[in-house]
Chain A
Amino acid sequence: MKVMNLVQAINDAMDIKLQEDKSIVVYGEDVGVEGGVFRVTEGLQVKHGKERVFDSPLAESGIAGTALGMAISGMKPIIEMQFDGFSYPAFNQIISHIARFRNRTRGKYHVPMVIRIPYGGGINALEHHSESPEAYFGHTPGLKVVIPSTPYDAKGLLIAAIEDPDPVIYLEPKRIYRAIKQEVPEEKYQIPIGKAKVISQGEDITVIAYGAMIREVQKAMVLVKEKGISVQLIDLRSIWPIDRDTIGAAVRQTGRALIVTEAQQSYGPAAELISVINEEAFLSLEAPPKRLTGFDTVIPLPLGEKHYMISPQRIAWEIEKLVNY
């Protein structure tokens, strides 16, 4: 075991896989010499060579499209979109080709690749550096979408994503890149894609969240504990495939559900989760399932983030309202 933060855990997963599987390459903007603007690929070029870890020209559509070519011919590219907002120029390649190639060729070709994207707000960044695009990708048939919330999960989920035969969007909650440290096994292990995790058991209410919001919910849990409320916390981990069984079973136990996402509300992941809850636990519900999400607004520049980002106090407020419904 070794103490790591998320950045180190993600780096470690790539390092292990690069070592083990020569078909893997890592590329994107500034990932080589610089080791990425967040230093997530630091040291990988020196260790594994310029042919396997390298800087590409500045073009996201180019990065994604070329990765498809590599992937269908037996390589396994891990590509980086420098920030969430810069995955949008790659949208055409991701939605129109990467997600569909298996289907279009009736299984003759498949696209084993990982698209890593630092995402989310709360870091006082410029415009287009704080987006939560998971709904776009989760909405797209043919993609898998995962989001870790701890270093342990970050490593295991990334290894699973790299070993997955299909394209995986791997969203990295940049706000907690260095905020959480944890003991992580030094060897290889997988966290299965499509499985949520029950982080803590509780009787009164189920809260479902993922990524950087997990930590905020945990802070809220401390606040409501004083009021005698016990929370069952679920880390979704996979936006898609969604873990219907775990969600259904959990809400059947508590009868109450709150979904917390930083992503804006309409047509977002929280809406999907509430549908699943209605389908799986309707008769056990003691209150209408509730979502606490980002507003349906552009995520503001730093001075406005204090309004937009969801605080533990707001989560606690919603928990209390639901429990007292």
Chain B
Amino acid sequence: MFDIKTLESYQAIDNKLYQVMDAEGKLVIPKWKSSLDNEQIVQAYRDLLFVRTADMMAVAYQRQGRMFTYPPNLGQEAIHIAAGLVMQEKDWLVPAFRELGAWLAKGVKLSEVFLYFRGHEDGSRFQEANRVLPVAVPISSQLLHASGLGYALNYQGEDAAVFAFVGDGGTSEGDFHEALNFASVWDAPVVFVIQNNQFAISVPLAMQTRSKNLAVKGIAYGMESIMVDGNDIFAMHDVFSFARDYAVTNKRPILIEAVTYRAGAHTTSDDPTKYRTSEEEEEWAKKDPVLRLQKWLTRKKLWDVSTEEELIASYRKKIDAEFEIAEHYPEYNIDDVFGYLYEEMPDELKRQKNDYMNFINSSGGVK
């Protein structure tokens, strides 16, 4: 449990990291109890395994030439699963682009994620998921949308929160600072989440900021700010639960820095060996979030590791099936290019489309 009292002893300015269990899956807070029951924790572990498998398969599909550039989530999954456990249906999720588990929790279909990264805009339509925004490629730009969504929740009298994600590198953009300030001045119920995975492509955190941590940036905007071990799902769940409750009850924003590590490449086009050492990678691998929960569960006799292989095999089948939906999606046609720009297509656009169709008809289908 993390409450307002806990917050007092985890002030960002003191550089204190909230952690519940260490890398060995041993509790570091004596007598700590989760608000999740054992069954929910086991399910959270299954979810971790599922997104990790899906994420690794996404990288594999890309390698097989069946998908384009993809940003791996490896090592950061606990943050997303924990957020998924806390977010409610009426809450908004405002992603950056590396929160696979959180998207799925909101009801985004894996086939849609695959479709998007296969290069089709329809993957951002989210047929069955509400209150989740699409990937925002321009770094930090999405955070301002979150502050506006928060204002709208207040204005419309809804008790809900906005979960907005950004990376460590994103804290350098002006939009990050504007978004925090707006949310604070407007009393908007936004839970800002910085996934501090230590890198912005090749640029390490030390070249991004001289602040002692990233959570302190919230203090300047007059908001509560917490630094959490992002590889500790219990700590993340505690803090997200508190933060949501705090935001909705007090109508205030709050900032969470989730300290983690991008264990994979920045994207499938990136080669991390150019800018970091394998020693560093191995150090962080020991703190892996999935392994950590596995150790805790095993010690508690809630999990039998020998069943894992079979479980993952069943996940792989499911994931392959989702991928096939994306792969066999209807052929991209010209209306996909011209559609959705306006409620009503202006004549000039109709003319341009017609010209193109005339060419296609005369060329026998050659584009």
Contacts and interface: CB of A to CB of B under 8 A. Distances in A.
Interface of A: 29-30, 33-35, 37, 55, 57-59, 61-62, 85-86, 88-89, 124-129, 265-266, 295-298, 300-308, 311, 313-314, 317
Q: What band does the interface of chain B fall in when counting residues whose beta carbon is under 8 Å from A?
A: 35 or more
Given A57-B203, A295-B349, 6 more contacts: A29-B203, A37-B270, A58-B208, A124-B68, A265-B352, A311-B367
Interface on chain A toward B: helix, strand, loop, or mixed SS?
loop
B170 A304 contact: no
Given A30-B201, A295-B337, A301-B119, A317 B275 contact: no
A33 B274 contact: yes
Contacts of A295: 337-338, 349, 352-353, 356
Interface string B239-273: 00000000000000000000000000000011000
A295 B359 CA distance: 14
B99 to A, nearest CB: 16
Q: Among the interface residues B337, B349, B359, B363, which one has the most CB atoms of the partner chain A within 10 A? A: B337
Contacts of B119: 124, 301-305
Given A30-B203, A307-B332, A317 B121 contact: no
A55 B202 CA distance: 9
A313 B366 contact: yes
Interface in B159-214: 169-170, 172-175, 200-203, 207-209
Given A124-B119, A301-B121, A317 B337 contact: no
A89 B341 CA distance: 22
Contact of B338 (A86, A297, A306, A317): A297
B207 to A, nearest CB: 6
Contact of A126 (B68, B141, B274, B334): B68
Q: Among the interface residues A35, A37, A86, A88, which one has the most CB atoms of the partner chain B within 10 A? A: A37
Contacts of A265: 352
Given A57-B172, A128-B138, A296 B200 contact: no
A30 B213 CA distance: 22
Contacts of A58: 139, 169-170, 172-173, 200, 203, 208
A39 to B, nearest CB: 10
Contacts of A301: 116, 119-121
B272 to A, nearest CB: 10
Contact of B275 (A33, A125, A127, A308): A33
Nearest to B177: A59
A88 B141 CA distance: 11
A297 B173 contact: no
